[in-house]
Structure 1
């Protein structure tokens, strides 16, 4: 039996919330200005610049894929604190480098640096797993999702406004925000991995595929991971092409793009901070995931087809926010089926899977955008990536349904009474 990590004080919980929140502010700040920055550095068109942005997202994600399981295993060995603080330092330096970069090549180098140390979200989730009883993990993962959404409320709005003066200013601001959070964490963040919960570092567990293989021994975890992969692959179409899509279809400037992304963050924060935390215990994680997939699929089709009308946009984004049920629901199911001493490995494996989607989804979606947004002899259709995303989301229901069928019969009957079928670990 492992002794539960000491309960951290409110400042530590606040720091973890702020880490996700401020990291997303930093990321959100730069999204509205990426089209203008890349076009100014390269002299390329919007469609070509979208493809170049896809390469930046690709190299970031590849480095994250390689390093996330290593950092996850190191956090199980040395603790959450040093890994999280190191990751924040790398993020701050990356934004500073991008602010000063005179060429696209240096932007590329900056993305490599931050991708190699991108462990903030995985380590924050491992911290939540350390301190949360099993029945509260999904709800607390939803709280991290709320921080994620809140960061996207403030970040893009600030970035769009500041970027209207100079496209490099948002990067300087993002660097300052992350540095401030790093200092706060250095002062208040405790270690939650007690001595008896630590385990030796093993390269087998630290290679990019080793963690995925290890945590996939349970059939439920394996199936949910496959659905998680498809869900993330679909979701990254928004982050990869939205700014370019809005400029091409609507003619929006940086401020308008920033406000539109902020509204996405507002609805996501409302859903995950209030609705999801209260609803999942009532309907169960399985039903929550299905609701999220259905809502997000409809929303993606709406993005692709509706005319440039703010009322329609607000309606579709609000519907898509129901997709916030997916991530905490899947996280909760997988965390329940994973031993206490492997929670860091699980989060590292999830981060690796996210890195694969962050690598190949933007690369795929930006190429689809480039092809359909600038076609010779045929009408332009910049919304094509969102149609593809909706189809992928529906396909994700297949491995998820298979995973839920692996749950023991007693747990299945409990789910019908409003309890989640993953409350008991599945047999391997």
Structure 2
């Protein structure tokens, strides 16, 4: 099929998928921390901020499992089939979430968000499609544009949640379900089926034996896991807790939080349009410098006042967009032999694991001070920056030593 048509379809689906994952973020902080009492924030008499931390964790937990298995499953059973099943299922998950909001059922809300996250872990499938079917210099641009579409979803989703919540907390989730069904129709009409490469194996066998974490048997991929996890913990600390920081520091409501998020995601999406340019600088080295700038922005939120913090939140979108494209394209080129679905799934799994870890840590630290989560996240991102640059330098030093030894012979 036409490459540009494929890119357009996948970018649209990426946007619609991320909208559903991101729309609760500006809603949840006011819902749990504005002082009102209802079924969602009074479950078992637990502190509302603790319930918020669990609510923030449960969707990434589903994403973690889905990201780990959906990419490898699509390697064997076909990308199109995986996208169709997961988008329909995620739409159903949004409808269950809407029902939980109406019933004020915290347990149903957690179950629905977990189920939705499980099936929204299909970003690795979309990235693998781009890497496999888009050739030449257009591939890096296409991957960058796909990342931009995911980023745009983080703009549209919170806006949708913040500005339609007034009509009922369930309304945004109903809209997200309809949007995903439209995305499913686009996949059905535009993406051709691929023959199954896994014959005689059941899907749960593939999921158990070939999930993304099996790649950690290999040393370079273990290193990638560690350094990328550190950076993603910084990202997760900002994504998950800047809304609560805005409530604590500035008394912001859902609409004001949505506007700050809109600034960050608008810059992130715009930067992603240009992040796929060719570069002579090695991918890990570029990613390391972008991570350093991102870490600085996160620390500005942790240590700054309201306006310095808002500037850090908004400006963070630029280095993060460039980091994603640099690291993903380098990983795709370096580890292609392991299967693009599995490699992209590993990167997605790392991000989801970081969200879970920071949600758990934040559930404790916010009981002391919300800024502590952001400071810890910024420090971890800074450590990842140093590690990436050292890894790049050590890799460049080995060929130089080999060349010198050859000359001495």
TM-score normalised by L of structure 2: 0.85
Other-structure match for 1:91: 90
SS for the counterpart of 2:395 is coil
Residue 299 of structure 1: aligned partner: 297
Question: Is residue 154 from structure 1 mapped to residue 172 from structure 2 by the alignment?
Answer: no
**Residues 137, 184 of structure 1: alpha-carbon distance in 2 compared, 3 angstrom cutoff:** closer
Q: Please say if residues 224 and 403 of structure 1, whose CA atoms lie closer than 8 Å, have aligned partners that are also in contact.
A: no
Closer, same or farther: CA 172–37 of 1 in aligned 2, 3 Å: farther
SS in 2 for 1:324: helix
How many residues are matched?
390
Which 5+ residue runs of structure 1 have no aligned equivalent? 1-6, 373-381, 414-428
1:15 equivalent among 4, 9, 23:
9
Partner of 1:390: 378
Distance 1:339 1:127 in 2: 13
Query: Is the contact made by 1:138 and 1:331 (CA closer than 8 Å) also made in structure 2?
Result: no
C-alpha offsets along residues 312-350 of structure 1, whole Å, 9 cap, x if unaligned?
624652255222222211111211122356111112222
Structure 1 residue ranges (4+ consecutive) displaced by more than 6 angstroms after TM superposition: 202-205, 410-413
Unpaired runs of at least 5, structure 2? 402-409
Rounded to whole Å, the distance in 2 between the matches of 1:26 and 1:66 is 18
Report the equivalent of 1:226. 226
Q: Residue 408 and residue 297 in structure 1: after superposition, are their counterparts in 2 closer, same or farther (change >3 A)?
A: closer
Aligned positions of 1:191-270 closer than 5 A? 191=193, 193=194, 198-199=197-198, 206-207=207-208, 211-214=212-215, 217=218, 219=220, 221-270=221-270
Counterparts of 1:29 and 1:35, CA distance in 2: 12
- 1:232-256 per-position Cα deviation (integer Å, ceiling 9, x unaligned): 1111112222222211211111111
Q: What residue is the counterpart of 1:144 in the other structure?
A: 146
* d(CA) in 1 for partners of 2:236, 2:254: 20
Are 1:407 and 2:395 counterparts? yes
Contact 1:20 1:120 in 2 (8 A): no
CA distance in 1 between partners of 2:206 and 2:387 (Å) = 24
Query: Which residue is equivalent to 1:167?
Result: 169
Map 1:12-161 to 2 at 5 A.
12-38=6-32, 40-44=38-42, 48-101=47-100, 102=103, 103-133=105-135, 137-161=139-163
C-alpha offsets along residues 342-401 of structure 1, whole Å, 9 cap, x if unaligned?
A: 1111122223222321221211123212222xxxxxxxxx32211111110121135424
**2:189 — aligned with what?**
187
**What are the Cα deviations for residues 283-339 of structure 1, in whole angstroms up to 9, with x where unaligned?**
442332122111111111111233223x76246522552222222111112111223
- CA distance in 1 between partners of 2:210 and 2:353 (Å): 11
Partner of 2:404: none
Say if 1:35 and 1:243, in contact at 8 Å, map to a contact too: yes
- Give, in angstroms, the shift of residue 114 of structure 1: 1.5
Cα 1:205/1:361, change in 2 over 3 Å: farther
Aligned alpha-carbon RMSD (Å) = 2.9
**Are the aligned partners of 2:91 and 2:177 in contact in 1 as well (CA < 8 Å)?**
yes
Query: Take 1:178 and 1:148, find their aligned partners in 2: how far apart are those partners?
Result: 14
CA distance in 2, matches of 1:281, 1:177: 37
Deviation at 1:268, TM superposition (A): 0.3
